[in-house]
Chain A
Amino acid sequence: MTEQTPQPDPEPSVLDRMRERLVPDGMPSDDRGRMRMVMDSLILHIHPAKVEVSTLKWTYTWGLGGLAGLLMMILGVTGIILINNYTPSAPQAYLDILELNSNVWFGELIRNLHHWSANLLIVVSVLHLIRVFVTGAYRPPRELNWLIGVAMLLLVIGANFTGYLLPWDQLAYWAITVGTSIISYIPLIGNWLSRLILGGPEVGANTLLNFYSMHISFIPLLIFGLMSYHFWRVRKDGGLTLPKKAESTLDVKPERVTTIPHLVRREFVFAIVWIAIILVFAMLVPAPLEGIANPDMSPNPAKAPWYFMGLQELLLHFHPLFGAIILPGFAILAIFLLPFFDINLASVGVYFRSQRGRSLTLLGIGLALIATPIWILLDEYVLNWNAWLPTWDMLISNGLIPLAVILLPLIFLDEWMHKTFQADTEERVLFIAAFLFIAFIVLTVIGIFFRGPGMSLNWPWAMPVH
């Protein structure tokens, strides 16, 4: 016993007790405590306790994965608010959107936030995929996370597509009609699958209910599960990819700092800045809403959602089996299988692999920018394989032949790169991927901005009104 007079312990205030309960050891004051905090926290645990300084450089990842996660969170919160103001039945769905816009405080803002975040998410997800691709970050041991990431990209597109129908306006109705008509081109099961998804022969009340349930339960649940796994996997696979060279040339161990505050602070600042950007954008630019869906009056031209316009454009030039099923199917398959073809670990973490890879990428982009518009113009005004080969099957005259016309020069170019410039497999993959991706972007831009009534080619500033 001490001789000090026993001071009665001051009764801790309610606030103190709350703080005590939340952070039992108090806020950490040293690195050790900060590392502990990361390890003990469920959410912060997606980070290691310490990170290498070089991974903090934001020009390596551009924060794209984190931004995608942030957008998912914004979509989740605004989505839950929107559910409370929505009935998935026609025409009530449209009336609810009108009500939301004209009678609910912050209703329009919430809808705008949801709309623009969803569209931004598609862009960001694709950019994230490209970043991972060009830095070769899908190579062993990260193949599995690449697969999950691609699956999530497809789910994000699915979520956006199902959400597109929900306002039940003309834009939604016809975009979904055009978008889902592609499904019935799948051989054997196409018609059955189309009926299953639409809940009937055409887009109607059942489709709305189907899409609604997919949009608010099935797809978000899958995305949430996969996203958690995706984050966990990043950590498990050793965090961010780093250039091998940097590690080998330095004898000393790379400098490491604690996650709190160095990484977490950056993440918070990044998130707040992006929230501010999205918020201001959503306040200034209202989400589109047209007249109520009218199955008897189709707009001309009827266009799919913007991210499918590349496909719709492709359909104008190919037999549907090729344009809608075979080409996109092979593209997705190739993206899935990439990590199993490209296993050279030497250049992981280096943008575009090497100097030669960089040059080949530039070459691919430049060639695609020139070749795609030329090919579209040729196909629109000159090439007419159907009429030239009337007795041939459409699958050949309008499928295999145009495909050969595109693929043969590409294969020739690829061989040339290989022979003349000694490009290795990864660099050739980079060249082909850059070419095909930019070609797809050009198709999308032409589909969105250059197609007028009857899908005729027009200049955007001289678009005939119909």
Chain B
Amino acid sequence: MNNTRTYLIEALIGLGATLIIVTTLGLYMLNESNRINEAQIQVLSAQLDESITLYAENCSVCHGLKGEGIGATPALNNPALVTMAFDDLYKTISRGRFDTAMPAWSKEDGGPLSDYQIEEMIALIQYGDWNVTGERVVNLGFAPLVPFTTDPDPVLLAEVANLPDGLTLQTAIQIFASSCVACHGADGLGSGIAPALNDPLVRAKTTDELTRTITFGNAGTLMAGWNNTLTTDEINAMVTLVQRWDEVPAGIIPAPDIPIPTTAESIALGSNLYTANCSRCHGPEGQGTPRAPSLNVKGLLTSTSDQALQQIITSGVPGTAMPTWGDRMTDAEIQAIVGFIRQWEATAPEVATPVRTGGGGPPWLRSTTATQSTTGSTGQGDVSPALQPIAQQARPLQTLDWRILVLAGAGLSFAFTLIATGFSSLRKKE
């Protein structure tokens, strides 16, 4: 009978579904411990990936490219740290370490890192690969921030010997050039991360105070205690240098002109940032617009060092429309932009032709200068698609390929079929 047949079919369907539920659950369970292992590895590698970037941005300045430690800062690639208790590591990073240069990093204690990020840092210490970390630090353009050393100008250094107690000053200048210039800047004029020492206010401090600061550091700041690295005589020499800096000729400790290293990754980042932030005024390919000067021009690029470009972007140009970007982007991002701009140097034209700003309106009425620009003349045409500004990538109505034809054809014919069917049956009724 029909009824029994329906019953049989339904019973079979139900039985089949039950079998599927049971077998798939069983198979899933067999694989579960495998899956959990894989998930753990995946979570850990995602955390390590993020922590390496955090390390590059926050820690590498003191703890070095590969966690090897710099100067008075301890190494992190130390096997003893791997076995250290999680809580101890957590406390040290989140609250800092008293009487050292290690500040508190937790947001609760005024630092920049969230609890989650601190846990990621611990994952880096316990499971991280320091060689990979070193590569990332270089890729992100933080390598120059690792204390660089300069050589004191030999002519001026010889002159210093003629000053009273010149030998002490010479020693101190050499130590400054190898250990202090990274933070306290060329000629002791200071940098973004440490104050100027070549300064009347510092000279006014007592010998005791200066000696104490250099020996034991300044808790709560990046100033490390140097008593383990420098001898008492060397520390005294440093104090003498700080007190008598006005006698030292200017330019004796030059700033190095180290080009910012670039990678495909950093150039892609720079390209995106440039498109998003700079191209409106400086033009999509740096040709300049009526609002801002050209960047893609020989004269500018050959005469301006990477450091100077970074300085201009970071601090802006007072009195012009160029804003301060330092508070909106990280150093790594600004350096990526510098690296991206630097790329143009090889092909930059002698004289740039600023583009007119193409307005809105339908695409077929828009000026095409903005998208074609100086491609022909400067040889920028062979930039890979990933590096092209977004504005130049495919937009609807401008590109036609088979998928568009298929989509539009299928959609339109479907819609028209519906309409035709509807109408014809309406008319039939009449």
Spell out A's residues near B (CB within 8 Å). Answer: 91, 94-95, 98, 101-103, 105-106, 108-109, 265-266, 268-269, 272-273, 275-276, 279-280, 283, 291-292, 355-356, 358-363, 365-367, 369-370, 373, 377, 381-382, 384, 387, 421, 453, 456-459, 461-462, 464-466
In the complex, A279 Cα to B35 Cα: how many Å? 17
Chain B residues closer than 8 Å to A456, beta-carbon distance: 395
Given A266-B10, A362-B419, A366-B419, A291 and B50 touching (CB < 8 A)?
A: yes
Q: Residue B403 contacts which of A291, A292, A382, A461 (CB distance < 8 angstroms)?
A: A461
Are A105's CB and B36's CB within 8 A?
yes
Q: Residue B396 contacts which of A91, A283, A421, A457 (CB distance < 8 angstroms)?
A: A457
CB distance from B428 to the nearest CB of A (A): 9
Are A94's CB and B116's CB within 8 A?
yes
Are B421's CB and A362's CB within 8 A?
yes
Are A458's CB and B422's CB within 8 A?
no
Are B404's CB and A421's CB within 8 A?
no
Are B425's CB and A459's CB within 8 A?
no
Chain B residues closer than 8 Å to A101, beta-carbon distance: 39, 43
Spell out B's residues near A (CB within 8 Å). Answer: 7, 10-11, 13-14, 17-18, 20-21, 24-25, 28-29, 32, 35-36, 39-40, 42-43, 46, 50, 114-116, 119, 272, 360-363, 386, 390, 393-397, 399, 403-404, 411-412, 414-419, 421-423, 425-426, 429-430
Chain A residues closer than 8 Å to B426, beta-carbon distance: 356, 359-360, 363, 421
Q: Residue A276 contacts which of B21, B40, B414 (CB distance < 8 angstroms)?
A: B21
Given A356-B429, A366-B415, A464 and B21 touching (CB < 8 A)?
A: no
In the complex, A360 Cα to B422 Cα: how many Å? 6
CB distance from A289 to the nearest CB of B (A): 10
CB distance from B105 to the nearest CB of A (A): 15
Chain B residues closer than 8 Å to A292, beta-carbon distance: 116
| Most chain A CB inside 10 Å of its own CB: which residue of B18, B29, B116, B403 | B116
In the complex, A103 Cα to B50 Cα: how many Å? 21
Chain B residues closer than 8 Å to A381, beta-carbon distance: 361-363, 397
Chain A residues closer than 8 Å to B429, beta-carbon distance: 355-356, 359, 421
Are B415's CB and A369's CB within 8 A?
yes
28 intermolecular pairs with C-beta atoms under 8 Å apart: A95-B116, A98-B43, A102-B40, A105-B36, A106-B28, A266-B10, A269-B10, A269-B11, A276-B20, A279-B25, A280-B20, A280-B24, A355-B425, A362-B418, A362-B419, A362-B422, A363-B419, A366-B415, A366-B418, A366-B419, A369-B411, A369-B415, A370-B415, A370-B416, A377-B397, A387-B360, A458-B394, A459-B394
Q: Which 4 pairs across A and B sit closest by C-beta, in order of nearness?
A: A366-B418, A363-B422, A366-B419, A362-B422
Q: Which residue of A lies closest to B37 (CB)?
A: A102
Given A106-B32, A292-B116, A356-B429, A462 and B399 touching (CB < 8 A)?
A: yes
Q: List 16 extra interface pairs beyond A272-B14, A292-B116, A365-B415, CB under 8 A.
A: A94-B116, A102-B36, A103-B36, A106-B29, A108-B39, A265-B7, A272-B18, A273-B17, A276-B18, A362-B421, A366-B418, A366-B419, A381-B397, A421-B429, A453-B390, A458-B396
Are A283's CB and B36's CB within 8 A?
no
Q: Residue A366 contacts which of B114, B119, B403, B416 (CB distance < 8 angstroms)?
A: B416
In the complex, A98 Cα to B390 Cα: how many Å? 34
Q: Which residue of B lies closest to A107 (CB)?
A: B36
Are A363's CB and B18's CB within 8 A?
no
In the complex, A280 Cα to B20 Cα: how many Å? 8
Chain A residues closer than 8 Å to B411, beta-carbon distance: 369, 373
Are B116's CB and A358's CB within 8 A?
no
CB distance from B395 to the nearest CB of A (A): 7
Are B430's CB and A272's CB within 8 A?
no
Are A283's CB and B28's CB within 8 A?
yes
Q: Which residue of A lies closest to B366 (CB)?
A: A381
In the complex, A462 Cα to B11 Cα: how many Å? 48
Chain B residues closer than 8 Å to A377, beta-carbon distance: 396-397
In the complex, A207 Cα to B209 Cα: how many Å? 50
Chain A residues closer than 8 Å to B50, beta-carbon distance: 291
Q: Residue B42 contacts which of A102, A266, A365, A465 (CB distance < 8 angstroms)?
A: A102
